[in-house]
Amino acid sequence: MPDTFLPAVEPEVGAGAETEFRARVLSFGDGYEQRVADGINAKRLKATLIWRVLNSSDADAIEGFFWAHPSWVAFLYVLPWETSARKFRVEQLSRTATGISRASITAQLVEVFDL
């Protein structure tokens, strides 16, 4: 069972997501096409989480979780606008100092469909 990401501070409301739709397309003459979903998991969610004002201990905890779960290690997380957990991996992580003992963190998560 993968670990669950439970940050002490929720990401900003402005955090967002995009969905990637994968399809196989066969084009014929005169612009005619046939399309079919590319596999059973043809819809993949990519979410960007943003924490703009964190104290250093909260920033260290969030960054520490992602460092312990690099891109090849999946974890569970409930997005702020959803009610059930999905499995993700972190694709990108950035931390910026915003003041004395203050930081902002941006994490890009990609949905995972492994067993």
Per-residue pLDDT of the chain (115 residues; tens, 9 = 90+): 789 999 999 998 667 889 999 999 999 988 899 999 998 999 999 999 999 989 999 999 999 999 999 999 999 999 988 899 999 999 999 999 988 899 999 999 999 998 7
Q: What confidence score (pLDDT) does residue 32 get? A: 92
- According to the model, what pLDDT value does residue 58 have? 95
Tokens representing residue 59 in the block: 């920033």
* 33 within a domain of the structure (yes/no): yes
Residue 3 within any structural domain of the chain: no
User: Is 98 in contact with 73 (CB distance < 8 Å)?
Assistant: no
Examine residue 77 and state whether it is found in any structural domain, yes or no: yes
The answer to whether residue 96 is domain-embedded is: yes
Domain annotation covers residue 7 = no
- Element (DSSP H or E) covering residue 24: strand 23-27
**Is residue 34 one of the residues assigned to a domain?**
yes
